[in-house]
Amino acid sequence: MTVWFTAVFLCGFVVFGVVMWADLAYSLSKGRDRTLTRRAARALEALSSTPPNDAARRATRYREFADATPEGNLIRVFGSSGRLLYPAASSAPAGFPWPQLDRARREHFSNVMFQGREYRVLQQPAELPLEDVVIVVGGQLEDNRQMLARFSMGLAGAIPILLAASALAGYFMSRRGLAPVGRLTAAVRSITIGNLSERLPIRRTGDELEQLAETCNDMLSRLETAVARIKRFTADASHELRSPLSYIRIVAEDALRHPDLPPEYCESFDGILAEAKEATALLEDMLLLARADAGHVDIPFERIDFVDLVAGAIARARVVAEAKGHHLSLQCPGGPCEIRGDRPGLQRLVWALLDNAIKYTPAGGHVDVSLDRNAAQARLEVRDDGIGIPAGLLPRVFDRFFRADPSRSQEGTGLGLAIAKWIADVHQADLSVESEVNVGSTFTVVFPIEPEDSLQS
C-alpha cells in the first residue's frame, strides 16, 4: 500500500509539474507578447504626439522614447514600402536578423535567433497622419528561459523530498489504516477448534471492518455449533458402542471356555475376540479424544519422577521389542528429573512413542531412548532406524487415523500419536518429529520445568 500510495502521488506530482510548467511557459510567452504590444503602442503614441509635418521634432521625440524604453535599440519604424523611417537612438546589434515585413498588413509575431539567444519580434501595422507605418519591436526571451529552467530545477529538486514525504505519509497511513485488520487477523489466528467459543472484538466504527468482524463472528458461531454436534455424535456413538462390544467379548470368552467346542469354532471365536478387543481399544481412544475436544477432561497434576516413569515404560516395551528382535536402549545422564503432570497420561504418551518406533522398525533394528534436562526443560527423544516417513507426510503425522505406511493399517488404531500430541499439549510440551525414508525417525518431547519444580541441590 505504501508503494502504491507513493507511486500514485509521484505520478500525480509529475502530471501537476508538467501542467504547471506548460502553463508557466504559456503565461510567460503571452506576457512577452503583451509587453511587445504595449511598447509598440507607446511608440505609436510618441510618433502621434508630434505634428506630422515636423519630421525633425518627430525624430527627436522618437529617440527620447527609445532611450527611455528597455530594449529600445530593438524598436524600428518602417514605412509601408519597407523603408526605415525612425531608427532607435542607439543602433541595434550589428547583424540582428530583422524579419521581412508582413505584406498582409496585420499583427504578426515571430521568433529569431541571434548570437545563441532567442528573440521575440512583433510587427504591428499602424496609421499616422499622412502615412502608414509598421512598428517592429523585438525583445529577448532569455529571462523566460531562465525562469523556466529555475522552475524545472525546483520541480526536480522537490521530487525526492516529496517522494520521501509521501512514502512516510503512506507508510504511517497504511499502518494506521491496517492496524484494525492486523488485530482482526491476530484474533482469527488465535481461534482454533479448541476455543471456538471466542469471538472477534468489534469496534463500533460503522465501516467495513465492523461488518467483517460481525460476519466472522457469525461464521464462528455456525462452526462452533457444527463442531459441537460432531463432537457430541462421536462421544455418544463411542459410548453407545461400548455395550454391544462388551457383550460380544463376553459371549466369545464364554464360548471359548466350553470344553466341547470344535477347533474350527475356537478359531472363529478367537478371531471375534481379537477384533472385539481392537474395536474396544479404538472406541476408548475415540471417546478420550471426543471428551478432550469437548473440554470435559479434568486432569490433576502431581510431581512425577520422569526418569522413573520412562524406565517403567522401557521395561514394559522391552518384552515386545525383544519378541521382534529389536535392540532397545535408554540413556539418561544427569540423575532424577521431576516434572508436574498426569502420570497415566505421561505413561500413555511415552508408550505411544515406543510402540510406534517398535511397530515401524524392521526386525533387528534399534530403538534408542534418551532423556536429559536442564534448569528450564526436560527433553525426551525416541529414535529408531525404521522405515521413516516421507517429508510430504510429516505435517500429518499427528492427525487422527493417519498411517505413514498404509500396508500396515492392520496394526493399531491410528490414534496413538494423535493422543500423544493431545497429552503433550495438555502438559504444555512440544512434540515434534524428524524423519528420513529408510533411515529412521526421531520423536522429541520437550517439557517445560518451572523454577519451583527444579530439584534442590
| 238: CATH | 1.10.287.130
Same domain, residue pair 447 and 327:
yes
Last residue of a domain, one of 97, 118, 148: 148
Same domain, residue pair 449 and 387:
yes
Number of domains in the chain: 3
Residue 63's pLDDT is 79
The set of residues, in sequence order, having a beta carbon less than 8 Å from that of 210 and lying 6+ positions away, is 202, 203, 204
Residue 353's pLDDT is 92
Same domain, residue pair 246 and 320:
no
DSSP tag of 70: T
Domain of 402, CATH number, reads: 3.30.565.10
The verdict on residue 195 lying in a domain is no
Residue 30: exposure state from Cβ atoms within 10 A (0-12, 13-18, ≥19): exposed
The verdict on residue 282 lying in a domain is yes
The verdict on residue 200 lying in a domain is no
Same domain, residue pair 13 and 113:
yes
Looking up cell 462421536, which residue turns up? 234
Same domain, residue pair 223 and 334:
no
Q: Pairing state of beta strands 302-305 and 377-384? A: unpaired
Residue 1's pLDDT is 66
Residue 384's pLDDT is 92
The verdict on residue 160 lying in a domain is no
DSSP per residue over 4-65, as a string? HHHHHHHHHHHHHHHHHHHHHHHHHHHHHHHHHHHHHHHHHHHHHTS-TT-HHHHHHHHHHH
Residue 104's pLDDT is 60
CA torsion 420→422→427→431, rounded to 10°? 60
pLDDT one digit per residue (tens) for the chain, 457 residues: 677 777 887 888 888 888 998 998 889 888 988 988 988 888 888 888 887 777 778 777 877 777 777 776 788 888 877 788 776 555 556 778 888 877 666 788 888 888 888 888 898 888 887 778 888 888 888 888 888 889 888 888 888 888 888 788 777 877 777 777 777 788 887 777 667 778 877 877 777 778 888 888 888 888 888 877 777 776 677 667 767 878 787 888 878 887 777 888 888 888 888 888 777 777 777 677 766 666 655 677 888 888 889 999 999 888 888 888 889 998 887 677 888 888 888 998 999 899 889 988 888 899 999 998 887 888 999 999 988 888 888 888 888 777 666 555 445 567 788 888 988 988 889 999 999 988 899 999 999 886 654 444 3
Residue 410's pLDDT is 47
Q: How far is CA 12 from the centre of its chain?
A: 26
Give the 3-state secondary structure of residue 259. coil
Residue 19 to residue 31: CA distance in whole angstroms? 18
**If we measure between CA atoms, which residue out of 75, 78, 53 comes closest to residue 64?**
75
Residue 435 to residue 388: CA distance in whole angstroms? 6
Length of the chain, in residues? 457
Give the 3-state secondary structure of residue 297. coil
Same domain, residue pair 286 and 351:
no
The set of residues, in sequence order, having a beta carbon less than 8 Å from that of 13 and lying 6+ positions away, is 158, 159, 162
Last residue of a domain, one of 294, 326, 345: 294
Same domain, residue pair 213 and 255:
yes
Same domain, residue pair 269 and 225:
yes
Q: State pTM to two decimals.
A: 0.49
Residue 73 to residue 245: CA distance in whole angstroms? 122
Residue 136 to residue 433: CA distance in whole angstroms? 96
Instruction: Please give the residue range of the domain that contains residue 15.
Output: 2-148
The verdict on residue 399 lying in a domain is yes
Check: CB of residue 352 under 8 Å from CB of residue 413: no
**If we measure between CA atoms, which residue out of 139, 119, 146, 141 comes closest to residue 37?**
139
Residue 358 to residue 328: CA distance in whole angstroms? 9
The verdict on residue 367 lying in a domain is yes
The verdict on residue 56 lying in a domain is yes
Same domain, residue pair 79 and 144:
yes
Same domain, residue pair 318 and 448:
yes
Longest dimension (CA), the chain: 162
Same domain, residue pair 373 and 414:
yes
Last residue of a domain, one of 129, 148, 167: 148
The verdict on residue 153 lying in a domain is no
Residue 120 to residue 116: CA distance in whole angstroms? 13
Same domain, residue pair 143 and 265:
no
DSSP per residue over 359-421, as a string? HTS-TT-EEEEEEEE-SSEEEEEEEE-SS---GGGGGGTTSTT--S-GGGTTSS-S-HHHHHH
Residue 388 to residue 369: CA distance in whole angstroms? 17
